[in-house]
Amino acid sequence: MTLHEGYDVQAELTRYRFADVERNGHRLNRGTARPGVAADEPPEFEAVRSAHRAWMVETTLGPDSPVIELDQPTTGVYVASRRGVYLDLYLGVAQRLFDDARLAPRLEPLRASGLLLRREINTDDFLGFAPEGVRLPQDLAQLVAGEMGRAFPRPEGYGVFFSNSGTEAVEAAIKASTLSAYRRVLERHGEEAWAAVCAELGIELDTGFGTDAPVWRDYPLFCIALRGAFHGRSLGSLALTKSRPVQRIGFPMWRWRAHTSPQDPVELEALVDRRPLADLLAEPGALRRTVADGRVPLDLLAAAVFEPMQGEGGYRMPSPAVLAAMRQICDDAGAQLVADEVQTFARGGTTFFSEGSNVRPDIVCLAKAAIVGMTIIPASVMRTLRPGWHSNTFGSGRLFDVNYAYAVIDTYLNGAEPTFAGLSFRENEQVKGDCLRQGLEALAEEFPHVLSEVQGRGSIWGVTVTDRPAFLAAAWRQGAKLLGAGGAERPGRVRLILPADVLTKEVDDVVAVLRNACRLVSS
């Protein structure tokens, strides 16, 4: 690797001046660390797994998943362990964007203020009068909404709803979209038309509230999502998820949703019934038949939801034509196009991965690297939301999370690393992403029977491997902690996630370790 669009990635190696990271008497230096691990695990690892299995409810954790040693130092993608030094190539499934050492000074004002552990309920109280250097929820919202306005300008701007996780961020997007759509239908068609819709679909009034305002037992407002999608495990976001059977078996399902191909815009268009609502209601049974056939009446569409790079869908990007068609259908309906960027935020060489996908979402959902769940909502939608429409206790009431999130995002947007000779973190992701792509494509040429289909951007990539269990095991033996994406099919997909400040040296080490894994699988 020599010159990349004016940036000499090889010269970067001469600028490495990193301090040792020390923990519990162990030291690790990002500039000198090299991956290399012993073949066998220490026997005490099994005691950790046994204690976990004894007390923790089963989730997605496999019996042979890595044991993370919290008494060992980490820096960049390097992790010290009792086996040696390995590469962490999924970073808490995209949770970590930077090292703790880079962020710790940003949190010092909060620690010094005595507010480190302060918890409030920001949905019931206004938080104000913070000590110097301590950020409040409105500061974080202004930072995020401002960046959303830069990426996807609109005159009225945006607001931010905070929650605890990506699932909750998607739930808030669904609720905001459906409530906005309900108000839209009433304004365009009137209460009588809505009552006719409910009557046609067998939905009755719920008379148990004792209010003059009508409350219906259900609200047939539709969301469209893509096959292969993963939007979360709570029942609303789960209704839009369509990746693995185990995520769906045994759980009741919200019925006002439909899935379509992430690659075929013709299928998406065929899914939508564009006849005006008045025409559907005028023809006896037409609306009921449309819904029974699995189609979505355009006037009842609330949202189309997509991941700009599908996680459980195999780290693959939807077709630009499908995203363009989703955008057009939402425009035609007055619905919201929702980008689930929980995993891709700040990873693609742009703040929002959607920027590089040439699609303009209305609502964006964040979590993971953003630290807290965030639903970024246009002001035009915010105006349709009534008090009490949604809430939670901890969304932005924990000052540590608010300040941690502000530190991460502000560092990504405005911070600098002297090692990169003037590159922003976004530009660094672009440069190193191109370097990694070249390395992965070279491996695909060298080992076509092992690795193929390189896809991604910036610091988030997916590859296809012929035998995923064997490849993951081989990579772990060579010193790389990897995570699959998608189901258990063979060939299968593997994800690679790097930090925003990834080094040339780290990219070289990743490619070298994966080459060794390919050789091991081939032997």
Predicted confidence (pLDDT) per residue in 411-454, tens digit: 999 999 999 999 999 999 999 999 999 999 999 999 999 999 99
**Can you identify the CATH homologous superfamily of domain 3-88+418-522?**
Aspartate Aminotransferase, domain 1 (3.90.1150.10)
Per-residue pLDDT at 487: 79
Largest pairwise CA distance in the chain: 77
**Mean pLDDT of the 66-70 span:** 94
User: Residue 339 and residue 207: Cα distance in Å, rounded?
Assistant: 36
Q: pLDDT tens digits for 201-258?
A: 999 999 888 777 899 999 999 999 999 999 999 999 999 999 888 888 898 889 999 9
Residue 226 phi, psi dihedral angles, 5° rounding: -105, 145
- Span(s) in the chain for CATH 3.40.640.10: 157-399
Question: Rounded to 10 degrees, what is the CA torsion of 211, 217, 221, 222?
Answer: 160
Burial 41-60 (b: 16+ CB within 10 A, else e): beeebeeeeeeeeeeeeeee
The SS3 of residue 113 is helix
Q: Contact 340/94 with Cβ under 8 angstroms?
A: no
Please name the residues in contact with 246: beta carbons below 8 A apart, sequence gap of 6 or more.
Answer: none
Report the share of the chain in percent with pLDDT over 90: 89
- Whether residue 39 has pLDDT greater than 90: no
Mean pLDDT of 332-342: 98
Radius of gyration of the chain (CA): 25
The answer, yes or no, to whether residue 343 has pLDDT greater than 60, is: yes
Cβ atoms < 10 Å from Cβ of 285: 10
Per-residue confidence (pLDDT) for residue 450, from 0 to 100: 97
Q: What is the overall mean pLDDT for the chain?
A: 95
Residue reference for tokens 């808030």: 172
> Per this entry, what is the length of the chain?
523
Q: What pLDDT sits at residue 208?
A: 85
User: pLDDT at residue 5 above 80?
Assistant: no
Residues 6+ positions from 477 with CB-CB distance below 8 Å: 37, 39, 517, 520
The CATH number, out of the four listed (3.40.640.10, 3.40.630.40, 3.40.50.720, 3.40.50.300), of the domain defined by the range 157-399: 3.40.640.10
Per-residue pLDDT of 162-197, as tens digits, reads 999 999 999 999 999 999 999 999 999 999 999 999
pLDDT confidence of residue 6: 83
Q: What is the pLDDT of residue 4?
A: 59
Nearest 5°: the CA angle 193, 194, 195 is: 90
pLDDT tens for residues 291-319?
Answer: 999 999 999 999 999 999 999 999 999 99
Strand-strand pairing, 301-306 and 451-457: unpaired
* CATH 3.90.1150.10-classified regions of the chain: 3-88+418-522
- Hey, which bits of 275-413 come out as E strands? 296-297, 301-306, 336-340, 363-366, 373-378
User: What backbone phi and psi angles, to 5 degrees, belong to 417?
Assistant: -125, 110
Supply φ then ψ for residue 364, to 5 degrees: -125, 135
List, in sequence order, every residue forming a beta bridge with 79; answer none if it has no partner.
Answer: 74, 86
pLDDT at 3 > cutoff 60? no
Distances (CA, A) of 196 to 2, 201, 204: 67, 9, 11
Is residue 2 over pLDDT 90? no
Which parts of 229-294 fold into alpha helices (H)? Answer: 235-240, 265-271, 277-282, 286-292
Sign of CA dihedral 183, 189, 194, 200: negative
User: For residue 53, what are the CA distances in angstroms to 58, 64, 82, 167, 180?
Assistant: 7, 12, 22, 25, 44
Query: pLDDT tens for residues 377-420?
Result: 999 999 999 888 999 988 888 999 999 999 999 999 999 999 99
Secondary structure letter of residue 354 according to DSSP: H
